[in-house]
Amino acid sequence: MSDKSVLCRKSLPLIQDHLLTPEWRDPRIGIVHLGIGNFHRAHEAVYTEEAMLAAGGDWAICGVTLQGDVTKRDALMAQDGLYSVVERGAEGVKTTVLRALREVLALPHDRARLFELLADTNVRIVSLTVTEKGYCRDTKTGDVDHGHPGIAHDLAHPGEPGTVPGILVAALRMRRDACIAPFTVLSCDNLSHNGAALRQVVCSHARMLDEALASWIEREVAFPSTMVDRIVPSTTNADRDAATAALGLRDEAPVPCEPFRQWVIEDHFPAGRPAWDQAGAQLVDDVIPFELAKLRMLNGTHSTLAYLSMLAGFETIDEAISFGPLRTLIHSMMTQEIAPTLSVPASFDLMAYRDALLDRYANPALKHRCAQIAMDGSQKIPPRLLATIATRLEHGESIARLALGIAAWFVFLCGRADDGTTFVISDPLASQLTALATHSGDDPKSLVDAMLGCRDVFSLELASNEVFRRALIEAVTQLKTGARSAIEKTNHKASETKSASRQNL
């Protein structure tokens, strides 16, 4: 424990060099954010502080953790909501103390205070970064998952919600009944059509409780979509020590991140919004092209890198991408298997985007752990890789590299790396998936057939596609000889196929 005094509002005059500007007029809370994780604190919170400095407005943030864990709340509230954003890039390290976060709550402990804020007319946006699993979504229908235990609780106790759909429905009902205009609901998660996906989950939950309320939400509440992008690793003790050394004050909750950031937002905010455009965000009519490009090019290759690395023994993304054959695989995966499935504005150069992603992955200062990305594969794989694969199959195009990414996930779920190291699987479906993987024995066919039988991940249509199944069996067979050699074999075979198809032209 450092002997330095803790970062707090009184200490701000001591660290003016680490503030965006010395002036700060203490705006009122205008945004409630569900899921006060590192990503939000390095992304939306940064854009929002910059927007308020540029154009004013009462848009301070109240962050809410839904996990019942009070440590994050207490650490941030002990610092008056202040924390460092620590950008690590080629130009070195930049430590900036953020002030936009005014209050932090932890459910279920602070539910009364949360609903007091959700009823406040100045709260005009409720944003979310709760990861894919936080939507409690039935992946087959897109409606709320009625079998989810949290949803069952919130249906039985609508006044004491703990899930995202339950909280939003209860808050919107409260505003409707008090004739207060609704807030805008802003999804900032890596889901395709994230605004529409959240709207469907919320309205289907509301319908279970009150048909008229569901209709009111459908008619009156805005759910704009966004594409969010910034690589933000988890915080380590080394980050805490580095931030403390930079500030000369103890910061228990710094957020490490890359210098790059991007935010593309559907401009639909009936109750108003911060001047995010003056902080570099892109306000557009149609987010989808940007969202799909990021979800497939970045997140799809991120997951592929993570699973192959967990088998090959690469600890971080920069270490993984420095393995030549793996960089070659990812480069050609984006070029030949992902980019052709995307349609983006003419101004969006997908090959330049690919090269920028490879540079971002190679950032040696970030130490972004593959194990962090490998979590929750059952929620991440479908939007990041399966949608791309389905498009490729529909057009009869190759999927060899994409299939290797899925096959690496299957082998990862067996819980053992190539060198025999074992790891624990962190996933909402961990028990179901690890049972399928480990009970299928060593035969690639039985592993593939067992995993394809998981309807929570694979649609019947995709699971029945023989081209997909054979590609997976071939990839799993190659992975049995080790991830590094499987990567090299896949590269070699793909380049052979490419030169053969050139000769046939």
**Site residues (CB under 6 A) for ligand CS2?**
190, 229-231, 298-299, 302, 372-373, 380
The 3-state DSSP composition of the chain as helix, strand, coil percent (nearest 5) reads: 50, 10, 35
Q: Which residues contact 64 (CB under 8 A, 6 or more apart)?
A: 32, 33, 34, 35, 36, 104, 105, 106, 107, 110, 114
Q: How far is the CB of 299 from ligand CS2 (least distance, A)?
A: 5
Residues 400 and 494: their CA atoms lie apart, in Å, by 8
Q: How far is the CB of 438 from ligand CS2 (least distance, A)?
A: 24
Q: How far is the CB of 419 from ligand CS2 (least distance, A)?
A: 24
Asked if omega into 340 is within 30° of 0 (cis), the reply is no
Residues 433 and 488: their CA atoms lie apart, in Å, by 28
- Contact by Cβ (8 Å): 127, 186: yes
Question: Phi/psi of residue 27, each to 5°?
Answer: -65, 160
- Contact by Cβ (8 Å): 139, 456: yes
- Per the document, the length of the chain is 505
Whichever of 114 and 197 has its CB closer to ligand CS2, that residue is: 197
Q: How far is the CB of 16 from ligand CS2 (least distance, A)?
A: 30
Q: How far is the CB of 231 from ligand CS2 (least distance, A)?
A: 4
Whichever of 200 and 299 has its CB closer to ligand CS2, that residue is: 299
Whichever of 292 and 298 has its CB closer to ligand CS2, that residue is: 298
> For strand 60-65 and strand 101-106, is the pairing parallel, antiparallel, or unpaired?
parallel
Residues 385 and 288: their CA atoms lie apart, in Å, by 16
Q: Which residues contact 395 (CB under 8 A, 6 or more apart)?
A: none
Q: How far is the CB of 353 from ligand CS2 (least distance, A)?
A: 13
Residues 244 and 253: their CA atoms lie apart, in Å, by 10
Measure the N-to-C terminal CA separation of the chain; round to a whole number of Å. Answer: 68
- Contact by Cβ (8 Å): 350, 293: yes
Whichever of 296 and 380 has its CB closer to ligand CS2, that residue is: 380
Q: How far is the CB of 310 from ligand CS2 (least distance, A)?
A: 13
Whichever of 206 and 231 has its CB closer to ligand CS2, that residue is: 231
Whichever of 40 and 240 has its CB closer to ligand CS2, that residue is: 40
Q: How far is the CB of 261 from ligand CS2 (least distance, A)?
A: 9
Q: How far is the CB of 284 from ligand CS2 (least distance, A)?
A: 18
SS3 of 43-56: the string is CHHHHHHHHHHHHC
Whichever of 122 and 372 has its CB closer to ligand CS2, that residue is: 372
Q: How far is the CB of 406 from ligand CS2 (least distance, A)?
A: 15
Residue 183, both tokens: 């807030």
Q: Which residues contact 49 (CB under 8 A, 6 or more apart)?
A: 20, 98, 99, 100
Whichever of 47 and 183 has its CB closer to ligand CS2, that residue is: 47
Whichever of 372 and 477 has its CB closer to ligand CS2, that residue is: 372
Residues 361 and 45: their CA atoms lie apart, in Å, by 23
| Residue whose beta carbon is closest to ligand CS2 | 302
Whichever of 52 and 298 has its CB closer to ligand CS2, that residue is: 298
Residues 198 and 204: their CA atoms lie apart, in Å, by 10
